[in-house]
Structure 1
Amino acid sequence: QIAFADVILLNKIDLVTEGELEQLEARIRSMNAAAKIYRTKDAVVEMDKILNVGGFDLDRALEVDPQFMEPEYPFEWAGVYDLSSDTHELVLQEGPDPTMNVALVPVNESTDESLEDAVEPVVMVFSDNEHELSAGGTLQPSGQLIALNLTADELRFDVQIDRPGAYALFTEHHPDEFQTQFFGGGTLVKPVVEREFKPDHEHDDEVTSVGITTPGDLDPNRLNAWIGDLLRTKGVDIFRMKGILSIKGESNRFVFQGVHMLFDGRPDRPWGAEPRYNSLIFIGRNLDRTELTEGFEACLA
């Protein structure tokens, strides 16, 4: 809160010494050098000093960036196909990038709801290490992140389906950018449902996702300090973050989510007999996986 405040009131200044006030102000300045600080007694302050100061305005932020509040994902498109048990074919043409990450996963039904249920698990898949697949190779619904190598003259990939059913294909870029087509038995197969996640996608190699999963309880003070520093220093680059946390001394799971500098968290259902763990995902630009992982693990109790 201090890091993103425009105005800060130091109240009850009559209860501390001048030296303590100066020390506190210096501490606040180190966290937020741009905020105006007013010393008050009984929270008395002129209204024009705290109202209509032209600080953060969500409406103005949305005018500048209409997608400011929209979560961003590591994939741009997903479609659900009804596939028979057979070897199908994924055919692409040369596009704007030499590779494209994809994930093929089974879903319950060919519905919007089933596609939505698959989104968050696939976000975690896209945060894992990729497995390169060259043209002529076989793509299977393995739950792995597959990097299609698109540098060959013939960009054809076999898709092996052992059990008939609904399968969701998530692609890093929109299929239209590579004129992607899905064939089964020589016939063009269309997705039953599909969804665009980033319709105005820009090809930016700096946009990545980082997933962290670890057992253990977290020290709440260390966690608050780390999250605060992270939002202050990296908030602009963090497009989205969310997770489930195990807080020391708390019997309930703690869930949180954030978009850029906006953060919200709350207690969730009790852990019960379930093993306690922490799982979180960051999506953004210029993310340092090692730095984020080490910073988070330093919060363990």
Structure 2
Amino acid sequence: MSSIDTMSRPVPVTILTGFLGSGKTTLLNRILSEHHGQKIAVIENEFGEAGIDSELLVNSEEQIVEMNNGCICCTVRGDLVRILGELADKRERGEVRFDRVIIETTGLADPAPVAQTFFVEEEIGEYFSLDAIITVVDAMHATQQLEQHHEAQEQVGFADRILLSKTDLVSEQETEALIARLRSINARAPVRKVHFGETELDQILDIKGFNLQAILDIEPDFLNDVSHEHDEDIRSFVFRSLRPFDPDRLEDFLARILTVYSRDLLRYKGILYVKEIEQRFVFQGVHMLKASRVGKPWLINETPETVIVFIGRKLPGDLFLNGLANCLTD
């Protein structure tokens, strides 16, 4: 960053985290859709070689930066520092305008190194202020995720606010048991139920919720060089095609692979090019739960292309890719 004006109030930053498929992008869409009068710079990060989350966001007028070459809390933390620096420089030169930053991490991220950036990188800490870590928890799958993934526990432990999604898909008893478990991990963060990201913005923005001392109590090495390792069984792979899908063949194939592999399919999402549909077809899901909708139209000068990202444990990638290829039109 070059000569940055640090006299003005530091730009507040919200880290939006939560395990794969918990509903982070839904919540982010909710924030971007509100008439709050603020411009928001969004930094997206996905685990995998193809990023499509900007396609899932409803407000394309925001300043959106996508990082898809790794986990934001691992090798690309340097990229996070660089991107924040570039945003600050452009803001000072009047090239972009934003009032706050939201960082949506990959669902496999440990939020500690992301938060650490604002305390160990002096120039970043002078220009930006970490307001809060907001963690979205999937009520339907959280118990399994907390048992199997250290990152899911870290996301809850570091949260300043916990938003509990998909409670309509589980019983009240299961919800209460999960809330009790979340509070045993993090007693200081309020837990609120949300439905499709619907929550009051004053509960998640400008709350000054990040407490460094509280974090040091649970992570004494927080200000040191923190790193972590992902489950080596978890991999991502991408399907791409310029040919359209036959919708019937595609629906049949997806139904079959979800029946067999849903337990190990942690997350899948994509922008689909489907025969005789002039718009993008947005497709995403977690385990057996999948959803789809018609998205933005393909532009006249745009070449329609399917991009689907799968993230899962020991998945037979060739079977998925060959099966999808067989669903394309001739």
Q: Normalization by structure 1: what TM-score?
A: 0.45
Bigger fraction of residues in helix: 2
Q: Which has the larger radius of gyration?
A: 1
Structure having the higher strand fraction is 1
